[in-house]
Chains A and B, each alone.
Chain A
């Protein structure tokens, strides 16, 4: 179990992490979702030991690891750009850790070869060992980077946007494979990503990092349907967040959130009186294939989005620039207390 306790990291005047409390349980695929610049990579670098926190403690299975040199931490790190050794072959890349680690290096060539082959097989690259790393494709490089890390049997694997450099097709295939590999090994993965779909697909648990803190850490379906605060809701890219004062009916003040797919649209003045509603102007629509997004502008300028599924259309024909009533079930809204 990896535990971060009140971890802070500043760069000059800028605060990257501001008292992060975070737990990655044993045998879990943890996805860490955050916008670019939110400090995701910094967090991983602190755990791996490439940098040290200004404050706070990091411990693995109860023992403190901050302050330890990174090559003795026994933590796997998969880099966004793969960071393969350009002068070595695929097999030499994978065997590097076994052969050259400071703690208990392997000297038996037969054993090194067996474990290298097993690792390459795990990532479906059997037979690629003799190739140079510049002679394989991006997806294959990704797997080599993964095999190189996994072969050392680290106590936890950190993946820094591991799919960012791959094209969309490859990305979805690697998603499944990463999950399967992790389940086979039984080791925890901490996967950092800026894509909410990736985080929700991959994670047994998803944590949202914003403003230098962990905003929420929950199972993906819980997080998606019950975001605990406005920041978490914003990162899921599925919630409209607006001021309660815009709505008809007594909803009080402060930010509230309603999911894109739970808002209905009717002509101006025809919203059912039992449902909370607000007025907004239709801006434009966006066709995405199976779904269509419609954009509205509320009276105070807030942008609102409504999702319509092609198989079950529920929106009327919309005219750009015209006002409509947006309404939703009273139990569909999430109300956040305290700071937004």
Chain B
């Protein structure tokens, strides 16, 4: 036995401890760039925005005397509370529309196309509109929806309508259409991913047990793809809630989102007021994401 025991000097660390130390150092090294970035460009600016929201706003300037005046004005103004309501309404409608349009597309790509290459090709095809700039994609809806636009011209030629439909452009409708088109792909991607992971034999097993396609969809496919719907919803929510460009170019200034308020307040140098709107928007987005994460445990599903 004595030949097998080796004396380790008691003053140094054991190999296990050294290894653990090394692992911890590596973990910290990996975390550092992200942490630095988040601190410099998220935590600090966020703190600054909250701070500025309590500054004193005069007509053309802002000074750092602390006051709650901007908050009081924001929360007592029907216009601004209306903007919150509009933002939430448009968010809910666009979210539902992207799910309604995106889910069948994802179902087709993820489940009915069994060829992996074709799957990838179709997903890429969904992203092709993103090769042009955001603004062009939004503005392209004008010749489509306008009174002299494609849809009105076609409907008039077919004799279905006699007067051009005016609600199509420069209305909340056009904002909804534009946003649904732009953000749909962020819904399609995650859902396709989750559907693609469903083992085809699980669906065959359900069929073999006597379930019709409708039942299989409700009981197997839908529950298994819900995490994808949740991830897609988070993507869409974050982008829609912070939107301003689509509303600015397609609503004819009739639809004011929180994002539009921030833009116009910054434009007129009302920094404190813009900061209030920014904080409110951040709170709403945080609440929405927290809610979504409560509904689905992503760590378990991914």
Residues of A within 8 A of B (CB): 48, 50, 70-72, 74-77, 79, 81, 83-87, 96-97, 100-103, 105, 148-149, 152
- CB under 8 Å from chain A, chain B span 209-231: 209-212, 215, 219-220, 223-224
**Contact in complex: B223, A87 (CB < 8 Å):** yes
Say yes or no: B210 contacts A79, CB within 8 Å: no
CB <8 Å contact, B207 and A85: no
Contact A83 B199 (CB under 8 A): yes
Closest chain B CB from A53 CB (angstroms) = 17
- Between A48, A72, A77, A83, the greatest number of chain B beta carbons within 10 A of the residue's beta carbon is seen for A83
Separation of A105 and B158 alpha carbons in the complex (Å): 49
Q: Which of A71, A81, A97, A102 has the most CB of B within 10 A?
A: A71
Find chain A residues with CB under 8 A from B223 CB: 87
CA distance A75 to B210 in the complex (A): 9
State the CA gap A103–B215 with chains docked (Å). 12
Q: Contact: B211 with A79, CB < 8 Å?
A: no
Within 8 A of A (CB), among B186-222: 199, 201-202, 204-212, 215, 219-220
Q: Mark B70-88, 1 if CB is under 8 A from A, else 0.
A: 0000000000000000000
How many residues of chain B are within 8 Å of chain A by beta carbon?
17
Q: How far is the CB of A313 from chain B (nearest CB, A)?
A: 43
Nearest CB in chain B to that of A92: its residue: B219
Interface contact B208-A75, CB-CB below 8 Å: yes
| Contact (Cβ within 8 A) A96 B201 | no
* A208 CB to nearest B CB, Å: 26
Tally of contacts, chain A with chain B, CB under 8 A: 69
Taking CB atoms, residues of chain B closer than 8 Å to A102 are 210-212, 215
- Distance between A70 CB and nearest chain B CB, rounded to angstroms: 5
A151 to chain B: closest residue by CB: B209
Known: A87-B223, A102-B212. A70 touches B202 (CB 8 A): no
Chain A hits for B220, CB < 8 A: 85
Some 9 contacts from A to B, beta carbons below 8 A apart, are A50-B204, A71-B209, A71-B212, A77-B204, A83-B205, A84-B202, A100-B206, A101-B211, A102-B215
Q: Closest chain B residue to A81 by CB distance?
A: B201
Complex Cα–Cα for A76 and B209 (A): 7
How far, in angstroms, from A81 to B224 measured CA to CA in the complex? 18
Taking the closest CB of chain A, its distance from the CB of B262, in whole angstroms, is 41
Task: Looking at the assembled complex, report how far the CB atom of A44 sits from the nearest CB atom of chain B, in whole angstroms.
Answer: 11
**B210 interface neighbour in A72, A83, A86, Cβ under 8 Å:** A72
CA distance A84 to B219 in the complex (A): 13
B210 to A103, Cβ gap below 8 A? yes
> Nearest Cβ in chain B — how far from A49, in angstroms?
8
Q: Which B residues are in CB contact (< 8 Å) with A48?
A: 204, 208
Q: How far is the CB of B200 from chain A (nearest CB, A)?
A: 9
Which B residues are CB-close (under 8 A) to A77?
A: 204-205, 208
Contact: A76 with B210, CB < 8 Å? no
CB of B201 within 8 A of CB of A79, answer yes
Do A96 and B208 contact each other (CB < 8 Å), given the known contacts A79-B201, A87-B223, A87-B224?
Answer: no
Q: Which of B206, B210, B212, B215 contacts A85 (CB 8 A)?
A: B206
Q: Are A83 and B201 in contact (CB under 8 A)?
A: yes
B202's nearest neighbour on chain A, judged by CB, is A83
**What's the Cα separation between A79 and B206 when bound, in Å?**
11
Q: Are B207 and A70 in contact (CB under 8 A)?
A: yes
Most chain B C-beta atoms within 10 Å of own C-beta, residue among A50, A70, A76, A100: A100
User: Could you tell me if A96 and B219 are in contact, using CB atoms closer than 8 angstroms?
Assistant: yes
Question: CB within 8 A of A81: which of B199, B207, B208, B219?
Answer: B199
The answer to whether A96 and B206 have CB atoms under 8 Å apart is: yes
10 closest Cβ pairs, A-B complex: A101-B210, A97-B209, A83-B201, A83-B205, A102-B212, A77-B208, A100-B211, A71-B207, A100-B215, A83-B202
Shortest Cβ distance from residue A215 to the other chain B in the assembled complex, whole angstroms = 28
In whole angstroms, how far apart are the Cα atoms of A254 and B208 in the complex?
A: 46
Q: Which residues of A contact B210 (CB under 8 A)?
A: 71-72, 74, 97, 100-103, 105, 152
Task: List A contacts of B212 (CB < 8 A).
Answer: 71, 102
**Complex Cα distance A87/B205, Å?**
14
B207 near A149 (CB under 8 angstroms)? Answer: no
B193 CB to closest chain A CB (Å) equals: 16
Which B residues touch A149, using CB under 8 A? 208-209
Return the chain B residue nearest A154 by Cβ. Answer: B208
A50, A76, A86, A152: the one contacting B202 at CB < 8 Å is: A86
Considering the complex, give the chain B residue whose CB is closest to the CB of A70. B207
